[in-house]
Homo-oligomer: A and B are copies of this chain.
């Protein structure tokens, strides 16, 4: 594959700093070429230890920096329109954290701007589409095996809301994930919205209408209910059940997708160890690379390899003889203490 991708990251707050770490340490084929934040010290802190990364307080300056091939926007929502416009004018591909912009009017201006460029440049950060459970659900719905979808039942719970969170933000900020997930899972636009407001929880800040039941209707008549409860006190929980003509499927309940059809509730089981342990293999090699670059050796040792084979050999003798076989190990060297 070609040269690594030089990315300018705009915004060095919680989310921006996490993306800097991700681009630098987790994702192969990318490097952080520039970081911009109005708070220059915050920007500098985020890139500490990254060679050849320029730091800016001005977003547009970062886009113009040498080696910048693409932009990741993690600045606050109100800054998105200017940043996207600048990226579009330079023809730079963008990954833009949600929301797209401050409101739908600004969003429509950005749609126009990108259309004038004439090709897609922006990917919006609705990350539910990348969650493995949601992908599995989407694949099942697309397969048609359960017939057409009729309803979605969604739950979206947070432990507690941050300071300044308003009743409207339950819909505009929290439920925006379910808005995108609904449009994506169903491949349909949402045509109407209703909101029911139960009495507020005693655990919510005074005056906050929390929880709410948000209802969507879609172009093809699917009805979607969303429980949004941002002060559940319980945990972060995101669930979705799709009810279809020939069965239903549910994700987000702490286990693999449950499909209900024809009198059975079932879960699929991996058929292969590379599937079941894919993440473990990635993590194994990542930790090895990280440790090795840092001059350390960790993980299972040569001693562990020896001990495993000594036990296995005792096991083979036990299998043959039908008897209990004692395991004799050599003395353990200091090196593996």
Contacts and interface: CB of A to CB of B under 8 A. Distances in A.
A247 B310 CA distance: 31
Given A245-B202, A310-B107, A285 B235 contact: no
B194 A111 contact: no
Contact of A29 (B25, B220, B225): B25
A282 B18 CA distance: 10
Given A115-B335, A255-B256, A325 B194 contact: yes
A307 interface: yes
A300 interface: yes
B269 A171 contact: no
| Size bracket of the A interface | 35 or more
Interface in A198-244: 198-199, 201-203, 209, 211-217, 220-223, 225, 227, 229, 232-238, 243
Contact of A49 (B1, B125, B243, B247): B1
Nearest to A31: B28
Contact of A223 (B121, B213, B261): B213
Contact of A180 (B197, B243, B300): B300
Interface string A1-15: 110110100000000
A183 interface: yes
Contacts of A265: 254, 266-267, 269
B255 A264 contact: no
A243 B156 CA distance: 12
